[in-house]
Structure 1
C-alpha cells in the first residue's frame, strides 16, 4: 500500500505569503497546490515563476466558485490565466508546474497540448459541493480518457453511509492513480485514511489558513502529521475511533493517538460521526475498525449490535466502548470507572457514603454515573425533564427521582451535597447562563454544593461559572475523559496506557 502524498493547499492572497507558509510547513508535506483563485488580482500576474521559487512539486489550481473556489471572472479570463501560468516552459522541469487541475468539463485543446509538451500532469477533477457520488467506479471510468491524467472525485456526503460507500468502492481499485475525497466533517476519515482509498494524494492546509477551507473540512498539516501520523499509516495499521452525533470538539483522538505514539504502536484513532448507530457499525466493518468509543446519542443503541455484553454494561444499560475480538463485537463501559475515579480524587473522598447526590439527566452517561454512585455507597436522586426516564433509572438503585424544573427545586436542595451534571447542555458554549445552556438555570446555588459537570469543552460551562461565582467547588469532565480513555486504550490494545 503506497502512502498518499501530503499536499499543502496554499490559499494566501500574495505569492510571498504562500512562500512563507510553505517554508514553515515544508517538513510536513510532499507537494503543494497553489490556489490562484485566492490570490489578489495583481499577484496573479506572477504565478508563472512560483514553481521556480519552491523545492517541491506544485499543482496549479484556479478553482471556479461553482466547484468551491473563489474565481468568478468567467472561463475566458480563467483560460488566459492558465495559459500564462503554463507558458514558456523551462528545460528544468522542476521550475514548471508539475500538475494542473482541470475540471471534468474544462477542455481547452491548446492547454492540454501544452501540458503534454511540458510534461505537466493533468488532475481531471469533479466536485459536487452539495451531494454525494455513489457510483465511484463508473464515474472514474468516464473521467479516465488516457493514462496521462489523474481523476479526482470530491463530494459532500449526506451521511456516514456515503463515506462508507466511498471506501467500499475504493477497495475494488488496484492502483493509486486517483484522488477520492469526501468533504465536510463526515468526510474526515477519507483524509486520514487516504492509504485505504489508494489515493495519490491528500490535501491539507496550514493551521493559520484552515478557515479558508472550513467548508470542506481540511485537516491542518500539523494535526495530520503529529496527531494522526498519516505518514506512518499502512496496510498493517490498526484502526480505532470514536462515533456519536454531532461529535464536535472531541479530545479522544489526542488521548488515544498520544498513547499509540508513546507505545510505538502502528495504530490510529479517528472520528467518524454517525447520526444513527447502524451507520457507525457499517463504517466500522467496511473500513476495518477494531474498536471504538461511543458517545451520545448511541450509548444504548449499541447494545442491540453486540455479540458480548460485559456484566457492567448489563447493569448500567449503556456502553461507551466496542471492541472486535475474534470477529465478534464486545461492548464495555468505562464511563463509570472514569467518573468514580475523577470524582473521588476531586472531592478527596474514599466513597460517597452519607452523601446526598443529585444526578442531572437520565441518558447513557447518567446511567453509568448512577451505577458508579450506587457502587460508591451514595444516596441519589435522578432529575430529568422526562419524568418517566428519571423514574426508570432511579428505581434500578432504589434512588429517588424528580422533575428537572423549578418544581423539583426543593428536592434538588435536599440532594445537593454533590450535583452531577450529565446532559449536553452547555457544551461548546461560551455564553452566560440561560435556559438553553444551563440545565439548572432555575436553581440558586448556596455555595455549599459540589458541582461536577461531565462536559470538558468549554473548561467552564455556564452552570459551572454560576456555581463557582456562588462559592461552590466545581469540576469539569476532563479527568473523567482521561480515566475512561485509559481503560478503553487497555481494552483496545491489551496494554496499560
Structure 2
C-alpha cells in the first residue's frame, strides 16, 4: 500500500500570498496546486512563474464555477490562461507545471499537444458538486481511455453508503494512477485513508485559507499530516473511528490520534457521519474499522447490533463503544464511567449519597447518567417530554419521573442539588436562551443548584449561561468526553491513555 502524495491547494488572491502559505506548510506536503481561478485578474497573467517560485511539483488548475471553482469568464478566456501558464517551457522541468487539471469535457488539442511536448501530466477530472458517482470503475475508464492521464473523480455523497461504495470499488483497482474523493464531511475518510483508495494524491489546504474550500471539506495540512498522520498509513495501520448524526464538531479524533502518536502506535481514528447506524457498520466492515465510538442518535442501535454486550452496557441499555474481535462486534459503555468521574470531580465528592438529582432527558446519554447516579448512591427524578420514556428509565432504578414542562417546576426544585442536562438542546448554540435551545427555559435558577451539561460545544450552552448568571456552579461535558475517551482508548489498544 503506497501512501498518496499530499497536495496543498493554494487559494489566495496573489502568488506571493500563495507562496507564503506554501513555505509555511512545506514540511507537510509533497506538491502544490495553484488555483488560478482564485487569483486576482492581474495575478492570473503571471501564473507561469509559480513553479520556479514554489520549488516543488505544481498542478495548474483553473476551476470553473460549475465544477466548484471561481472562474466565470468563459472557456475562451480560460483556454488563453492555460496557454500562457504552460507556454515557454523551461529546459529545467522543475520550473514548469508538472501537472495540469483538465475537466472531462475540456479538450483543446493545442493544449493537449503542449502537455505531451513539455511532459506535463494531465489530470482528467470529473466533479459532481451535488450528487454521488456510483459506477466508479466505468467512469475511470471513460476518463482515461488512453491510459496516459490521471483520472480524477470527486463527488458529493448523499449518504455514507456512497463513500462505502467508493472504497469497495477502489479495492478492485490495481495501481495508483487515479484520484478518488468524496467531498463534504462524509468524505473525510477518503482524504485520510487515501492509501486504501490507492490514490495518487490527496488534497489539503492551509489553515488560514481553509474557508475557501469549506464547501468540499478539505482538512487543513496540520490536521491531515500532524493529527491524522496520513503519510504513515499502511497495510498494518489499525483504523478506529466515531459515528453519529450529524456528528459536527467532535473532539474525539484529536483525543485518540494524539494518544496513538504519544504511544508510537500505528493507528488512526477518523470521523464518519451516518444517518443510519447500519451504514456505519457497513462502512466499518468495508474499510476494516476495529473500534467504533458511537454518539447520538445511534447508541441504542449499537447495542442492538452487537454480538456480545458487556454487563454495564446491557444494564444501561445503550453502547458508545464497539470493538471488532474475531469477526464479532463487542459492545461496551464508557459514558457512565466517564460521566461519574467528571461529575464527582466537579462536585468535589466521593459519591452521590444524600444528593437529590434532576436528570433532564431520557435518551441514550440519560441512560448512562441514570446508571451512574444510581450506582453512586444518588436519588433522582427523570424529566422528559415523552413521559413514557421517563417512566421506563426511572422505574429501572426506582427513581421518580415527571414531564419536562412548567408543571414540573416544583419537582425540579425538590431534586435540585444537581441538575444534569443530557439532551442535545444547546449544542453548537451561542444564542440567548429560548425554548428551542434550553430544555429548562421555564425554570428559574435560584443560584443554589449545581448544573452539569454533558454538551461541550460550546463551552457554555444557553442553559449554562442562565445558571451561571443566577450564581450556580456549572460544568460542561468536556471532562466527561476526556474520561470516557481515555477508557475507550484503553479498550481499543490495551494501553492506558
Q: Normalised by the size of structure 1, how large is the TM-score?
A: 0.99
> Which residue of structure 2 aligns with residue 189 of structure 1?
189
1:303 Cα shift? 1.9
5+ residue gaps in structure 2?
none
> Which residue of structure 2 aligns with residue 372 of structure 1?
372
Map of 1:57-206 to 2, 5 A cutoff?
A: 57-206=57-206
> Which residue of structure 2 aligns with residue 264 of structure 1?
264
1:386 Cα shift? 0.7
Instruction: Tell me whether 1:444 sits opposite 2:480 in the alignment.
Output: no
> Which residue of structure 2 aligns with residue 250 of structure 1?
250
**Partners of 2:74 and 2:468 in 1: CA distance:** 58
Runs of 4+ in structure 1 off by over 2 angstroms are: none
**Partners of 1:22 and 1:47 in 2: CA distance:** 15
> Which residue of structure 1 aligns with residue 305 of structure 2?
305
**Partners of 2:335 and 2:18 in 1: CA distance:** 45
**Partners of 1:100 and 1:148 in 2: CA distance:** 13
Q: Secondary structure at the match of 1:440?
A: coil
Q: Secondary structure at the match of 2:46?
A: helix
1:346 Cα shift? 1.0
**Partners of 1:259 and 1:222 in 2: CA distance:** 16
> Which residue of structure 1 aligns with residue 7 of structure 2?
7
> Which residue of structure 2 aligns with residue 328 of structure 1?
328
1:126 Cα shift? 0.3
**Partners of 1:436 and 1:134 in 2: CA distance:** 38
Once the two structures are superposed, residues 172-209 of structure 1 have per-residue CA deviations (whole angstroms, 9 ceiling, x without a partner) of: 01100000000001001000000000000000000010
Once the two structures are superposed, residues 425-471 of structure 1 have per-residue CA deviations (whole angstroms, 9 ceiling, x without a partner) of: 11111111111111111000010001000011111111111101111
**Partners of 2:363 and 2:268 in 1: CA distance:** 29
> Which residue of structure 2 aligns with residue 317 of structure 1?
317
Q: Secondary structure at the match of 1:20?
A: helix
Instruction: Tell me whether 1:219 sits opposite 2:258 in the alignment.
Output: no
> Which residue of structure 1 aligns with residue 228 of structure 2?
228
> Which residue of structure 1 aligns with residue 465 of structure 2?
465
1:408 Cα shift? 0.9
1:304 Cα shift? 2.1
1:292 Cα shift? 0.9
Q: Normalised by the size of structure 2, how large is the TM-score?
A: 0.99
1:73 Cα shift? 0.6
Once the two structures are superposed, residues 198-238 of structure 1 have per-residue CA deviations (whole angstroms, 9 ceiling, x without a partner) of: 00000000001000000000000011111111111111100
Q: Secondary structure at the match of 1:457?
A: coil
Instruction: Tell me whether 1:46 sits opposite 2:46 in the alignment.
Output: yes
> Which residue of structure 1 aligns with residue 20 of structure 2?
20
**Partners of 2:265 and 2:305 in 1: CA distance:** 28
**Partners of 1:250 and 1:376 in 2: CA distance:** 28
1:147 Cα shift? 2.7
Aligned residues: 497
**Partners of 2:167 and 2:329 in 1: CA distance:** 21
Indicate the RMSD between aligned Cα atoms, in angstroms.
0.6
Instruction: Tell me whether 1:428 sits opposite 2:421 in the alignment.
Output: no
> Which residue of structure 2 aligns with residue 398 of structure 1?
398
**Partners of 1:130 and 1:222 in 2: CA distance:** 28
**Partners of 2:311 and 2:114 in 1: CA distance:** 68
Once the two structures are superposed, residues 370-400 of structure 1 have per-residue CA deviations (whole angstroms, 9 ceiling, x without a partner) of: 0000000100000001111111100100100
Once the two structures are superposed, residues 299-329 of structure 1 have per-residue CA deviations (whole angstroms, 9 ceiling, x without a partner) of: 0011221110111111100000000011110
**Partners of 2:33 and 2:204 in 1: CA distance:** 10
**Partners of 2:131 and 2:404 in 1: CA distance:** 41
**Partners of 2:329 and 2:182 in 1: CA distance:** 27
Q: Secondary structure at the match of 1:368?
A: helix
> Which residue of structure 1 aligns with residue 476 of structure 2?
476
> Which residue of structure 1 aligns with residue 210 of structure 2?
210
Once the two structures are superposed, residues 270-307 of structure 1 have per-residue CA deviations (whole angstroms, 9 ceiling, x without a partner) of: 00000010100000000100001000000001122111
**Partners of 1:370 and 1:110 in 2: CA distance:** 71
